[in-house]
Amino acid sequence: MRESTKMLLHYITGLGIVVAGGVHLFTVFLTGPYLQNLGFSGGGYSVIAIYRNVLLAATLELLLIFVDYHALNGIRVILIEFHQGTRWERGVSWVLAVTGILLLVYGTRTILIANALA
């Protein structure tokens, strides 16, 4: 992938985070008492109520994808500004790509299982 494509994706995911992250923060902080919303169940916006709502769970999955890319690409940009060289840049990209995929798998597992909890 060209560097310009990676950076375009960086800006697109950044704007996506503003929207999806806005929804996420709204449901946690602005829909009722914070402690109630972080309770496992009880109330319309408790942890498990959010995951069971397909639309909100899908928003969380989107947020996960956006933040995963944006954060790790950001770290990549910082690291290749520290030091340049083909080996360094390739190594950094590979390590971060694997990290990103592992985080995505683990986060998606949480969302899918929490959505299916009885």
Partner 1 sequence: MAEPLTSELKRALFGWFYPVKYSIERWAYALQRISGIAVTAYFLAHIVETGNVVGGLSVWSVPSTDLARDVWAATFHFLDNPLFDTGLVVIGFMLAYHTVNGIRLTLTEFGLLQGRPARPDFPYEPKSFTKSQRAIFWLSVLFAAATAVYALNVFFGV
Where along the sequence are the contacts to partner 1 (CB under 8 A)?
7, 11, 14-15, 17-18, 29, 34, 38-41, 47-48, 51, 64, 67-68, 71-72, 74-75, 78, 81-83, 103, 106-107, 109-110, 113-114, 116-118
Query: Which residue lies nearer to partner 1 by CB, 23 or 47?
Result: 47
How many Cα atoms are found within 13 Å in the side-chain-facing hemisphere of 20?
19
Helical H runs in the chain? 3-29, 34-37, 47-52, 54-82, 86-116
Q: Nearest distance from residue 90's CB to partner 1, in Å?
A: 15
CA pair distance 68, 53, nearest whole angstrom: 22
Q: Nearest distance from residue 58's CB to partner 1, in Å?
A: 16
Query: Which residue lies nearer to partner 1 by CB, 55 or 82?
Result: 82
Q: Nearest distance from residue 2's CB to partner 1, in Å?
A: 15
Nearest to 56 by CA among 116, 113, 111, 117: 111
Query: Which residue lies nearer to partner 1 by CB, 55 or 85?
Result: 85
CA Rg, the chain, in Å?
17
Nearest to 10 by CA among 59, 62, 72, 63: 72
Q: Nearest distance from residue 55's CB to partner 1, in Å?
A: 18
Query: Which residue lies nearer to partner 1 by CB, 1 or 40?
Result: 40
